[in-house]
Amino acid sequence: MDELMHDACERASRYLADLGRRRVSPAPAYLAGLAALGLPLQDEPIEPALVLEELDRLGSPATVASAGGRYFGFVIGGSLPAALAANVLAAAWDQNAGMRVASPVAAALEDVSAGWLASLFGLPVGCGVGFVSGATMANFSGLAAARHALLRRCGWDVEARGLFGAPPITVLVGDEVHVSLLKALGLLGLGRERVVRVPVDSQGRMRADALPAIAGPTIVCLQAGNVNTGAIDPLSEVCRRVQAEQVWVHVDGAFGLWAAASPKRAALLDGIGLADSWATDAHKWLNVPYDSGLAFVRQASDLRAAMAATAEYLVEGERREPAHFTPELSRRARGIEIWAALRSLGRAGLAAMVDRCCDLAARFAEGLRSAGFEVLNEVVLNQVLVSFGSAERTRAVISAIQAEGTCWCGGTVWQGKAAMRISLSSWATTDEDVDRSLQAIVDAAKLTSDSQSPADLGNRNRSAP
């Protein structure tokens, strides 16, 4: 075991050391090499050391280098050193975080982190917190608590009786709602398509002046951090306008909520504490390893009522039972890395990480503008949208940069216009990473005209593995 663990750590260290030198998207030859995994399962056991060697040889070079400093796709953070190291130790611990009796240490780390996080975000003391797999499940959990609370106020027990015959709940979303929130609504029987969509402004923010009149049980879903522009809904204004006994406000703050931890940017989230539930990701801007998300609910009892399950063999103590606040029963102990990340950063370190990403986004935008390209969004946070002219040319530049390998950026369509998305979400990104990536993007754009197909450009720069 000792030798194997040293081998694993050495391979992991070598992988990390190599991240800065290798291309970001895996080279085609290594992707083709994955075919070697496709063997029938053999009869006899194989030495663990050989299994690890095979995994490293075939798997490591085929990874996307999203743990490095030049990955700007989607909204994907890296892993902070303390969080990654804690993850390695936690893997050895192999704790089941569902029950306090199965892992007192995991429960204690969740208790402490939950308090720290609520204080960092300005959420109510004592709110209920669920440590879930990501913002999709965090949205699901917050909305499940909303469904519970609103129907209970109507005298309906939704956990016991389901939605058949229940009073209807109106659900309001901004027109730029994230697809995962709609999915969560579908899972909860609230429907992906029976929502009322509220118009948004040029940055994708819900327009408070366009809110419909509200009557009856209503969930208002706000967003802190539009996945394209980074824009944050006018939380304070909407919360004040919709305030009523039968209204529940949920905020999807998958990455944007972290801006509340930066004194320089917290004003963007003014009014955040007025909502009833909040969803965020830890694997995005807190830079803990996948997977890790967080659901917060003002009244812990609402989350507990939606999620708790009891049976005689499940021992229950006086204190918070982790599984009563999440959809899962057994699960990995995500609180370990969250605790380690926060403990290593401190308040100032977390604010600095958020601010650095935002500053790097501004640096990117400035560089693109001065190269003559159009930045489509107000760069308020860590997201940049850039157009290279026609949709064809923009798509060609995106394909070229992905194939060239210096960095990785994805595409989107923003309010009818094709754009490249650049997301600055990693502690590991430096000024130099941004400058090198800018240069690669500008070079790719120079070689691109509307008449060229993306394939021509991809081939031109395809470097050897």
Ligand X SMILES: *Cc1c(COP(=O)(O)O)cnc(C)c1O
Indicate whether 254 belongs to the interface with ligand X (CB under 6 A).
Answer: yes
C-alpha dihedral sign at 111, 117, 120, 123: negative
Longest dimension (CA), the chain: 69
* Min CB(290)–ligand X separation in Å: 9
Please choose, out of 106-114, 214-222, 251-259, 456-464, the segment that lies near ligand X by the rule CB under 6 A.
251-259
Q: Phi and psi dihedrals of 179, rounded to 5?
A: -60, -30
Indicate whether 121 belongs to the interface with ligand X (CB under 6 A).
Answer: no
Please choose, out of 44-52, 212-220, 248-256, 435-443, the segment that lies near ligand X by the rule CB under 6 A.
248-256
Residue nearest to ligand X (CB): 134
* Min CB(135)–ligand X separation in Å: 3
Among positions 110, 176, 233, 252, the unique one binding ligand X when judged by CB under 6 A: 252
How many Cβ atoms are within 10 Å of 119's Cβ, its own excluded?
Answer: 12
Are the C-beta atoms of 360 and 407 separated by less than 8 Å? Answer: no
Indicate whether 204 belongs to the interface with ligand X (CB under 6 A).
Answer: no
Give residue 452's Cα distance to chain centre. 35
Are the C-beta atoms of 212 and 196 separated by less than 8 Å? Answer: yes
DSSP string of 271-308?
Answer: TGGGSSEEEEESSSTT-PPSS-EEEEESSHHHHHHHH-
* Min CB(46)–ligand X separation in Å: 34
Q: How far is CA 81 from CA 14, 297, 343, 379, in A?
A: 14, 30, 12, 28
Indicate whether 281 belongs to the interface with ligand X (CB under 6 A).
Answer: yes
Please choose, out of 12-20, 40-48, 134-142, 416-424, the segment that lies near ligand X by the rule CB under 6 A.
134-142
Label residue 452 exposed, middle or buried (CB < 10 Å: 0-12, 13-18, 19+): middle
User: Tokens 């504490």, residue?
Assistant: 273
Contact string (CB under 6 A) for ligand X, positions 421-460, x = contact: ----------------------------------------
Indicate whether 406 belongs to the interface with ligand X (CB under 6 A).
Answer: no
Q: Which stretches does DSSP call E strand in 224-363? A: 247-252, 277-281, 293-297
Label residue 459 exposed, middle or buried (CB < 10 Å: 0-12, 13-18, 19+): exposed
Please choose, out of 32-40, 208-216, 223-231, 296-304, the segment that lies near ligand X by the rule CB under 6 A.
223-231
Residue closer to ligand X, measured from CB, 70 or 178: 178
Among positions 75, 185, 351, 428, the unique one binding ligand X when judged by CB under 6 A: 75
Indicate whether 25 belongs to the interface with ligand X (CB under 6 A).
Answer: no
Among positions 144, 227, 342, 441, the unique one binding ligand X when judged by CB under 6 A: 227
Q: Please give the residue ranges that form the binding site for ligand X (CB under 6 A).
A: 75, 134-136, 178, 180, 223, 225, 227, 252, 254-255, 281, 293
